[in-house]
Homo-oligomer: A and B are copies of this chain.
Amino acid sequence: MRRAEILSVPGIPEVQAGDDLDGLIGDALVAADLALGDGDVLTLAHKIVSKAEGQVRRLADITPGEEALRYGEELSKDPRKVQAVLDESTRVVRAFKHPHATEGTMICEHRLGLISANAAVDESNTGGSDEVILLPKDPDASAQAMRDALQARFGAEIGVIITDTFGRPWRLGQVNVAIGLAGVPARINEAGGHDARGRELKVTEPAFADEVAAASGLVIGKAAQTPVVLFRGLDWPSTDDARGTDLIRAQSEDMFR
């Protein structure tokens, strides 16, 4: 029997720019009697990483350009927010406003390659209502720095996944996905294996990091201050070269488009 545990880590304070995030998380783990051990995986909601890194923009500091003003009009969005979205994007895949919505949505390709609503620029849960939160500059590097610091502190080999909450084509409701990772594989290739009865399996690549990210949502209340989730008992091959972008389909290969 395989058994894994999902634990929300209590006691993470509101994070500010410049905070020592690995220190805060390490202290919270110790206080909750959750010293890390080999094989543990931590998920971090990207917002606390972005905040600690100062990846926050004050709307008052943003001057919308012509394109942002046009989208703002069309979508009933604050053009300064639109400008922040455009600044994070390499292209706008689609912009749309439902008749009953108060505000439209832009589906964008983020500079990291991720396709998501509003280029993952977030308004909720910020320190002030006049700010937006961007993704970390390099989520894999952020995950790796967190992994290094916590491994040194706890003397254990762990994995770290930075998550964001995404809507999905074809399916309703949001799930958390992995945008940056360290130690853990993005996908686990089961190609060429055999099933329990010895028959050859078709190529299967469970998106391990996305499975963990989605599972983290099960113990995170949006209204609660629980951006860090600890997984114990998962079975994963340690790797030093996986990247969050390993989960992004090349446009040329995306037959779902």
- Interface size grouping (class) on chain A: 35 or more
Least CB distance from A229 to B in Å reads 9
* Contact A199–B3 (Cβ < 8 Å): no
- Name the contact of A211 in the complex, choosing from B9, B199, B214, B226 (C-beta under 8 A): B214
Q: Does A66 contact B (CB under 8 A)?
A: no
Taking CB as reference atom, which chain B residue is nearest A205? Answer: B173
Q: How many copies does the complex hold?
A: 2
Considering only CB atoms, which chain B residue lies closest to A213 in the complex? B214
Would B254 and A169 count as touching, CB distance under 8 A?
A: yes
A32 interface residue (CB < 8 Å to B):
yes
Residue A238 interfacial (CB < 8 Å): no
Q: Which of B10, B94, B197, B205 meets A174, CB within 8 Å?
A: B205
Docked Cα-Cα span, A199 to B124, in Å, equals 8
Given contacts A94-B255, A170-B248, A175-B211, 12 further A-B contacts (CB under 8 A): A2-B8, A4-B7, A125-B195, A168-B256, A169-B257, A171-B207, A172-B205, A196-B225, A201-B222, A206-B222, A211-B214, A214-B214
A-B contact pairs, 16 of them (CB 8 A): A1-B32, A2-B226, A3-B6, A5-B5, A6-B215, A107-B255, A124-B199, A125-B195, A165-B204, A168-B256, A169-B257, A170-B257, A171-B177, A173-B208, A206-B217, A208-B218
